Amino acid sequence: MHQAPALALTLPPDRLWLGSVRILGASALLVALVWLGWHAVRTGTPTPVMLLLAALCSLPALWLLCRDTPTAAVGCNLSWHPEKAQWCLQTLDSNGQASPLRSGRLDCVADGMRWMLLRHTGRGSPSVWLCVSHRDHPAHWHTLRCAVFSPGARSEPAAASDE
């Protein structure tokens, strides 16, 4: 089996993905509040169990709405190094300055053939979620898919120093 060639991409901000996550969070919060209001109208006052259930349903929604998602909002640089069998990621801040290079593993969580939801996990750092599409990278789409699904890309990178 062939090893995928080296690849370097600058992923632009994905405002559609960020907006979709926020709409999902707002919808979940709205459903919890409507449910609580409907039960309050039917019974007169909400019971402690209803308030607890509404709060538990609202917490994930509030987390989706309030969390900082710098990768989706600003962008990042993603590269595949076949000789080291590792993925490297640099997030970009609002001024376009890159963070330190993080090596790690890239997993495809969802594959829609023309888009992919990827998760980059590195040692000692939180996971970064990336939504990439053919629309944003038509020239590199085939190479990206080959690299993501190549056998060497599925293994855990060696504990070497980042370059």
Residue 23 lies in a domain: yes
Through-space distance between the first and last CA atoms of the chain, rounded to whole angstroms: 27
Number of domains in the chain: 2
> Do 62 and 77 fall into the same domain?
no
The whole-number pLDDT of residue 131 equals: 85
> Do 21 and 38 fall into the same domain?
yes
Residue 30 CA to residue 37 CA, distance in Å, equals: 10
> Do 28 and 101 fall into the same domain?
no
Question: Is 146:4 a contact under the CB 8 Å cutoff?
Answer: yes
Q: Tens digit of pLDDT per residue, the chain (163 long)?
A: 567 788 998 887 767 777 777 788 788 778 888 888 887 788 877 778 777 877 777 777 677 666 655 444 567 889 998 888 889 998 877 676 777 888 888 999 999 999 898 998 888 878 888 888 898 889 999 999 999 998 766 655 555 444 4
Residue 148 CA to residue 136 CA, distance in Å, equals: 17
Global model pTM greater than 0.85: no
- Structural domain harbouring 101: 7-14+70-154
